[in-house]
Chain A
Amino acid sequence: MTWTCEHIEARLSDYLDGLLSPDERHEFDMHANSCENCAPMVAGISQLVGGLHSMAQIETPPRLVYAILNQTLGPRAAKKGWRATFAWLGALASPRFAYYGVSVAATMLILLTAAGFSWRKPKLADLSPVNLYHTANSKAHVAYARSTKFVSDLRVVYEIQSRLNKDNELPTTPESTVPQSAPGKAPGSTDGTRPATPRQQNRADGLGRELEILATEVPVVSGHLCGQLLGRRIP
């Protein structure tokens, strides 16, 4: 049977509530997906039903329960004597109050622990405002110092890691292209070759200066030797 628009409209709620058989559902989908009148209707009512299902329940006015109880059971007799004095305690035995109590107790526990209150050896003096202030102050400073140190350590670790990563990222140079130091030539030699590293250059410069001083002070003995070493004539 081929479904028409009338079929779709008549069975729409069965479709939305999942009451159609697989064959009927297939026929429904076949028509609804291809019909330009039914497709928007099915989509619109499906959205409407979804919206209705998700609508929240309205909160009951608090006075309503008491009004009902007064109408049915009659006004409650006023409590007298010590019962009236402690009547408000009955209101505390509600789940909501229990939740409030637990949350307040948990907050106090956290605050007192943070303020340095010792739960193993509780002292009344620990609860004095001055002691609480001093302990909280010192704990706050310690916490600040620890956090600063932690951040600083993190920074160092990050720097080391980034440098290591940078070194790892450098392309490896083939062995044949590695500059070889000239055989038989000491670092800082004055034969025209460049020293391998800046440190070697500095060392060579320092040696040169010392030799110049020696040549100036003892020209006869060391002039020739120094001249040879430095590769130039010493005046």
Chain B
Amino acid sequence: MLALCNFWGKLVTVAGFEADDTLEQDAQLVQQCLQGDGSAWEELVRRHTRRIFNICYRFTGNGTEAEDLSQDVFLRVYKTLGSYRSAHGGFATWMTSVTRNLLIDHYRRTKRDRITDSLEDSMPVVENKESAGRRPDQQLLLGELSSQVQTALTKLSPELREAVILRDLQQLDYNEIRQVLDVPEGTVKSRINRGRIELARILQQMGVRPS
């Protein structure tokens, strides 16, 4: 009977009638995980993988890096699950905060590589920079989405980029973003505003007209 209920729950979720009590379900799954229930952890992973992968992909602009970072995020969440307190906010917000910290760490760690890459990119090359060295699945991803917007996003500074991603792509509200970034709400507003203006300016320089 329990399995049937679980199956029906999945069916309803797939059909798009997602229940509003996601927060409660997450908290319950976390409790079950802490009691050593592997299936509860598996359920948590399945529920949040897509969102975390999307944040990582939007931030890095690279499918492979996004996959690696998503794995790192879940590994860290799994290890620090005991430190999560539901009173401080939703599990999704807490997980987004972990993701954000890892992304910033990753950004700082790879900064030197990117400077070298940008120097190499500035050298004249004959091959197409868009498709060179990119796997077919990455090209498919870029084909599905607006690759110009993704390119412009990666040109934003990390502070503005994360603010725009959380607000406009993950559609978090200001309070959630404040919790994730751990900055005052005024700073959140300012970053979102500057991020949007800067993104529009970069797209304009690229000759892209948003529609």
Chain A residues packing against B (C-beta within 8 Å): 9-14, 16-17, 41, 44-45, 47-49, 51-53, 55-61, 64-65, 67-69, 71-73, 93-96, 98-99
**Residue in A45, A49, A52, A60 whose beta carbon sits within 8 Å of that of B53 in the complex:** A60
Residue B86, interface by CB 8 Å: no
Chain B residues near A48 (CB-CB < 8 A): 196, 199-200, 203, 210
Q: Are A13 and B193 in contact (CB under 8 A)?
A: yes
Whether the pair B41, A60 counts as a contact (CB closer than 8 A) is no
Chain A contacts for B53, CB-based, 8 A:
58, 60-61, 64
Contact assessment for A58 and B145 in the assembled complex, using a CB-CB cutoff below 8 Å? yes
Q: Max chain B CB contacts within 10 Å: which of A11, A17, A68?
A: A68
Measured between beta carbons, the chain A residues less than 8 angstroms from B197 are 9, 12, 41, 45
A interface SS class: helix
Bound CA–CA A67/B169 (angstroms)? 25
Q: Is the CB of A96 within 8 A of B211?
A: no
Q: B171 and A51: CB pair below 8 A?
A: no
Q: Is the CB of A13 within 8 A of B189?
A: yes
Tell me, rounded to whole Å, the shortest Cβ–Cβ distance linking A96 to chain B.
Answer: 7
Q: Are A49 and B75 in contact (CB under 8 A)?
A: no
The interface of chain B, by Cβ under 8 A from chain A, is 3, 7, 10-11, 13-15, 38, 41-42, 45-46, 49-51, 53-54, 57, 63, 67, 70-71, 74-75, 78, 137, 141, 144-146, 149, 164, 168-169, 171, 174, 189, 192-193, 196-197, 199-200, 203-204, 209-211
Interface centre among B49, B57, B209, B210 (most CB of A within 10 A): B210
A47 and B211: CB pair below 8 A? yes
Are A56 and B145 in touch, CB under 8 angstroms?
A: yes
- Given A52-B168, A56-B144, A71-B74: A44 in contact with B200 (beta carbons within 8 A): yes
Contacts of A68 in B (CB 8 A): 45, 49, 70-71, 74-75
Q: Which residue of A lies closest to B14 (CB)?
A: A95
Q: A65 to B45, Cβ gap below 8 A?
A: yes
